[in-house]
A = this chain, B = another copy of it.
Amino acid sequence: MKLDAQWITGFVDGEGCFYVGINKHSDMTAGFQVLPEFTVVQHKRDVKLLDALKDFFGCGVVRINHGDRMAYRVRGKTDLLKHIIPFFIKYPLKSKKVFDFEKFQKILFMMKAGDHMKASGIEKIRQIAHQMNRGQSR
């Protein structure tokens, strides 16, 4: 199935999620691991749409989310910076989710600059991440 860019933006306005997790991790320089992820969840009957998103973006995985729901998920700053961020800059979201995307993008650019390796950077990332996904369930 071939997807149109505008269709993807519309679908992600409805079903997508931009999220940044921050976990304690003793192996990391700053003591924390920053885990940005872009996710689209669907009932398994529409797993082909998730596969088509994966094909379109050329990265990520399609896995069981929970129960009969599947998720297309892109993690890791390399794929997010290369494939996901540029797409949503070119085809902006129309819902308020765009504000989550902007924070997500900001954190990814900070990670690109290595800010997540410093305690001061982690603190700033935490503040931005805390303002994301408010008023919506994940």
8 A Cβ contacts from A122-136 to B: 135-136
Residue A9 contacts which of B10, B45, B135 (CB distance < 8 angstroms)?
B10
Indicate whether A95 reaches chain B with its CB closer than 8 angstroms.
Answer: yes
CA distance A9 to B7 in the complex (A): 6
Nearest CB of B to A82, in Å? 23
Question: How many identical subunits does the complex contain?
Answer: 2
Q: Mark A1-20, 1 if CB is under 8 A from B, else 0.
A: 10111111111111100000
**How many chain A residues have a CB neighbour from B under 8 Å?**
25
User: B49 touching A95 by the CB < 8 A rule?
Assistant: yes
User: B7 touching A96 by the CB < 8 A rule?
Assistant: no
Residue A3 contacts which of B15, B43, B94 (CB distance < 8 angstroms)?
B94
A interface vs B, CB < 8 Å? 1, 3-15, 42-43, 45-46, 49, 52, 94-96, 135-136
